[in-house]
Amino acid sequence: MSHYTALLDANVLYPAPLRDIFLQLAVTDLFKAKWTADIHREWIEALMRNEPERDRAALERTRDLMDMATRDSLVTGYASLIETLSLPDPDDRHVLAAAIVGRCGVIVTQNLKDFPEAALDAFEIEAQHPDEFLCNHLSLAPGVVCNAVRKVRARLLKPHYSVEEYLATLTRQALVATAGELQSFAELL
C-alpha cells in the first residue's frame, strides 16, 4: 500500500470522469485518497445545481460506495482547526484542515489559486492540479495508470467510448497533458 496521501477537493470528485479515474487509481493503492463529508456535500450540491433532474439518492449512493471502496478515506476531526487557518477564500479552509488532519502530502484541486504555496508550506502540503497529479503518477507507474484507465473506459457502456473518445473526454476535463501522454499508451487502454 502506498503511503502517499492525497486529499481530493470537490472539483475533482465532480465531474464524473475525474472522479472515476481518481477512484480507480485509489483502489489500486497507487496513492491513498482522502476526502470529508463536507467535500462530499460540496460536489453533490454542485452537481444538483448544474443538473437538478439528477436523483440525489443515487448521488448519495455513489458517495457511500466511494467511502466503502477506499480504505480510510473519510477524514474527520478537523473542524476545530478550520478557524485557525488563512486562505484567500475562507470557504476553502476546511479542505486544508482536512489535509492536515489526514496527513496528506497534496491537495488535488482545480483551484490552485485558492491554495497558495505560502499558505501550505508550513504544513508540508502541496496543491496540484489533477492533470499534474495524474501525469506524475503516469510517469511513476505507467502500467498501473493504464490499467486503471482501461477499467474505467470498459465500464462506460452507454455509450461505449473508443480510446480516442475517452482521451477527448479527459481533454475536455482539463486533463490535457494526461490525455496527451496516454495517447502513446493507446493500445493498453
Q: Are residues 86 and 177 in the same domain?
A: no
Between 176-183 and 163-172, two packed helices, what is the crossing angle to 10 degrees?
160
Higher pLDDT, 48 or 71: 48
Alpha-carbon separation of residue 106 from 110, 130, 152 (angstroms): 13, 11, 23
Tell me the pLDDT tens digit for each residue of 142-161.
999 999 999 999 998 888 89
Indicate whether 3 pLDDT > 90: no
User: 156 lies in which domain range?
Assistant: 134-188
User: What are the two backbone dihedrals, phi and then psi, of residue 15, each rounded to the nearest 5 degrees?
Assistant: -90, 160
Q: Is the pTM of this model over 0.85?
A: yes
Lowest mean pLDDT among 30-39, 65-74, 127-136, 154-163: 154-163
Nearest alpha-carbon partner for 18 in 130, 145, 180, 147: 130
DSSP string, 4-54: -EEEEPHHHHSSHHHHHHHHHHHHTTSSEEEB-HHHHHHHHHHHHHH-TTS
How many domains are there within the chain? 2
Q: Are residues 99 and 68 in the same domain?
A: yes
Q: Are residues 9 and 55 in the same domain?
A: yes
Q: Are residues 114 and 160 in the same domain?
A: no
Residue 2's pLDDT is what? 63
Q: What is the DSSP letter of 163?
A: H
* CATH code: domain of residue 82: 3.40.50.1010
Tell me the pLDDT tens digit for each residue of 158-182.
888 999 999 999 999 999 999 999 9
Q: Are residues 142 and 105 in the same domain?
A: no
Residue 71's pLDDT is what? 85
Tell me the pLDDT tens digit for each residue of 13-62.
999 999 999 999 999 989 999 999 999 999 999 999 999 999 999 999 99
Q: Return d(Cα 116, Cα 103) in angstroms, integer.
A: 18
Indicate whether 94 pLDDT > 70: yes
